[in-house]
Amino acid sequence: MSSTTPDAPDDGARRPQDRHLPVLLQRCVDLLAPALREPGSVLVDCTLGMGGHSEAVLEQVPTARVIGIDRDPQALELASRRLARFGDRFTPVHAVYDEIRDVVADEGLDAVQGVLMDLGVSSLQLDEAERGFAYAQDAPLDMRMDQSRGITAADVLNTYDERELTRILREYGEERFAQRIARAIVRRREKQPWARTAELADLVRDAIPAATRRTGGNPSKRTFQALRIEVNGELEVLERAVPAAIETLAVDGRIVVESYHSLEDRIVKRAIARGTTSSAPPGLPVEPETHRPYLEALTRGAEEADADELERNPRAASVRLRAARRVRPTPSHLLPKEER
**The pLDDT value given to residue 102:** 97
**Which pLDDT score is estimated for 191?**
95
pLDDT on residue 240: 96
pLDDT at 336: 74
Handedness of CA 250, 252, 258, 263 (dihedral sign): positive
- Which residue type does 135 have? Y
Contact 67/44 with Cβ under 8 angstroms?
A: yes
For 130-178, how does the pLDDT look when each residue is reduced to its tens digit (9 = 90+)? 666 677 788 999 999 888 889 999 999 999 999 999 999 999 999 999 9
pLDDT digits (tens, 9 = 90+) for 197-240: 999 999 999 999 887 776 667 889 899 999 999 999 999 999 99
Name the packing angle between helices 197-207 and 221-232 (round to 10°): 130
Minimal CA–CA distance to 117: which of 24, 13, 7?
24
In b/e form, how buried is each residue of 186-203, taking b as 16+ CB within 10 angstroms?
A: bebeeeeebeebeebbeb
182, 164, 179, 174: which is closest to 225 by C-alpha? 174
Of the pLDDT bands very low, low, confident and very high (cuts 50, 70, 90), residue 8 is very low
Q: State the pLDDT confidence band at 241, using cuts at 50, 70 and 90.
A: very high
pLDDT of residue 214: 67
Give the mean model confidence (pLDDT) for residues 80-95: 97
Q: Where are the beta strands (DSSP E) in the chain?
A: 2-3, 21-22, 41-45, 64-70, 90-94, 112-118, 249-259, 295-297, 320-326
Q: Picking from 15-24, 30-39, 171-180, which range would have the lowest pLDDT averaged per residue? A: 15-24
Amino acid at residue number 303: E
pLDDT confidence of 17, banded at 50, 70, 90? low
Return the higher-pLDDT residue of 216 and 302: 302
Closest by CA to 305, choosing from 258, 339, 266, is 258
Q: Would you say residue 65 has pLDDT above 70? A: yes
pTM score of the predicted model: 0.87
Q: Is 324 helix (H, G, I), strand (E, B) or coil?
A: strand
Quick one: which of 27, 210, 194 has its CA closest to 118? 27
Mean pLDDT of 45-51: 94
Report residue 296 CA to chain centroid gap: 22
The contacts of residue 284 (CB under 8 Å, 6+ apart) are none
Helix (H, G, I), strand (E, B) or coil at 87: helix
- Which strands form 320-326's sheet, in the order they lie side by side? 90-94, 64-70, 41-45, 112-118, 249-259, 320-326, 295-297
Binding-site positions for S-adenosyl-L-methionine: 51-53, 70, 97, 118, 125
Binding annotation: 51-53, 70, 97, 118, 125
Q: End-to-end CA distance of the chain, in Å?
A: 35
Lowest-pLDDT choice from 64-73, 277-286, 296-305:
277-286
- CA atoms of 34 and 254, how far apart (whole Å): 9
Instruction: Convert 126-144 to b/e letters by CB count within 10 Å (16 or more is b).
Output: bbbeebbbbbebebebbbb
Average pLDDT over residues 63-82: 94
Residue 129 has pLDDT above 70, yes or no: no
Domains, the chain, ranges and CATH? Answer: 2-124+235-339 (3.40.50.150), 131-232 (1.10.150.170)
DSSP collapsed to 3 states, 193-247? CCCEHHHHHHHHHHHCCHHHHCCCCCCCHHHHHHHHHHHHCHHHHHHHHHHHHHH
Angle between helices 221-232 and 162-173 (to 10 degrees): 100
As a whole number, mean pLDDT of residues 90-109 equals 97
Three-state DSSP class for residue 9: coil
Give the span between the Cα atoms of 332 and 340, in whole angstroms: 5
Q: What is the DSSP string of 51-83?
A: SHHHHHHHHH-TTEEEEEEES-HHHHHHHHHHT
